[in-house]
A and B are shown apart, each in its own frame.
Chain A
Amino acid sequence: MKPQIVRHGEAILKPCELPKEAILKEELDRVVVAHSETGHHHVLVKDKIDLSKYKVYTHNGDTYVEVPSLSKLIHEKTGSDVHKTHTIAPSVYKIIIKNEFDYFSGAIRRVRD
């Protein structure tokens, strides 16, 4: 399966090269790609249990995640209005959180859910 751009609610994963100066922040068994104010996080989990870890990097204010093995991007919620689970191929991805323009403050801000 080839890595491809994935959109999951306000979270977007875009396959890319890891910048050379990127700093490794943490290694995790699961990664919350986008936090939700209502507790319904968007989470990367491995498809099968293995010993590999997700590596989270930062560079110039951007966040990258190295996905070591086939994974799933899930929405931690039940009910009828749950974002569909996507399969994520191993690769480095830039995590992008969608923006919107707030006319009341006159500024761009990240979408929060």
Chain B
Amino acid sequence: MNLTTLVGQLGELETDMINSITKEQEAKIPEYIDKWVRIASEPLNREMSVKMVKELFGDVTVIIAESIRNGVDIVKFIAGGRVLKYDSKLRSQLYSQLYSQLYSQLDSQLDSQLNSQLYSQLYSQLDSKLYSQLYSQLDSKLRSQIDSKLDSKLDSKLRSQIDSQLRSQLPKEIRYSYYTTQFWMVWLGYYDYAQMIGVKFDKEKLQKMTDIVLSIPTIISLGKIMIVVENPLCRWENENIHSDQKPAIEWKDGTGFYYLDGVNFEKELWEKVVSHEMSLSEIMQIEISDQRTVALKYNPQAIIKENAKLIHKDDRTNELYLVENSEINKITEFPKMYFLKMTCPTGRVFIEGCPPQEAEKNPHAGKMQALLCGLHYSEYMEMTLES
């Protein structure tokens, strides 16, 4: 399509600029976010998935995987010991289809009809948990699982369905790639909302983009073999991916990923955290501070059990604690252990170890905080932008 044709098509769709939305329309934003978050968990229309993949990629074999784990197992079974090498070509191909042919044209229709300030204000509200949580988590999990040294486990039915002749035709080194399209659901949600407030789109292009994104939420390519992964069920609480009962992202085959307050945990650690029986020693051994914060939230008794003594508290929610003559002292062989506890403006509580010699010299919560932040105390006290 050349630029003249594109501009001509856009001209036919021109309407009045929308400069603002009503309070009633604004009140509907959460409804649209929730709608598309729900759609992201709906089971695939598998016939449509196969159809869309063949339309985009031609004569390929399409397999539907029940979960990311199942998809990875299929990849490894098909590879059968051959070298797997990541290839960004598929990613570019799918992105190119969605961006250059569909998204960019739909977005320019949106842009030409919405006042620019309204455009960005609405985007920041509609750019929801789908992008920052679901998409980013699934994208990183998929890559790390394919790269891991998991053995493949497939049930006999699926093994027999994957034709041995198909496998034998594969080269010694298999190039693979993958793509997750939940990010594009954010835009479909935006276009859906925009239509409600009066924006006019090219219906055919919008339907095509919807069909692609809903049919192909996650795809793994091995060249002529495409694996489409089913949607998981996602559990949310207070806008975060969260469950203290089951995997927060869970597929029907029982596999999934564990999250508390939007923070990912391996199953073993998640089980410990939700047991509410963690000790301070166990909590402080958690290296990732977001996980530690969640662990502390679920195990507030941990500090009390270690007989932690409050040494100093300042006006900036910093509290310095000393633990001595306790189990954790025996384990670490430090007779005196100093911890800085801080409540951030979000309400989360952070706990960090302080160098014992420095804390002994300066048993002052604010000075310890400044030290850990790499600042002079005067710089720390002058700091007004803190979150």
Contacts and interface: CB of A to CB of B under 8 A. Distances in A.
Interface in A1-25: 4-10, 12, 14
A109 B238 CA distance: 32
B161 interface: no
B363 interface: no
B345 interface: yes
SS of A interface (majority): loop
A35 B296 CA distance: 22
B375 A82 contact: no
Interface string A28-46: 0000000011111000000
Contacts of B337: 103
A27 B132 CA distance: 24
A53 B186 CA distance: 27
Contacts of A81: 240, 261-262, 346-348
Interface residues of A, number: 38
SS of B interface (majority): mixed
Contact of B385 (A5, A100, A108): A5
Interface string A62-89: 0000000000000011111111101000
The interface centre, meaning the residue of B240, B290, B345 with most chain A CB atoms within 10 A of its CB, is B290
13 contacts: A5-B382, A6-B383, A7-B386, A39-B140, A40-B290, A77-B133, A80-B347, A98-B372, A101-B352, A103-B332, A106-B332, A108-B355, A113-B288
Interface of A: 4-10, 12, 14, 36-40, 76-84, 86, 96, 98-104, 106, 108-109, 111-113
Given A5-B375, A80-B347, 14 more contacts: A4-B384, A6-B386, A7-B373, A7-B385, A10-B289, A14-B375, A36-B290, A37-B288, A38-B288, A39-B136, A80-B239, A84-B345, A100-B352, A112-B287
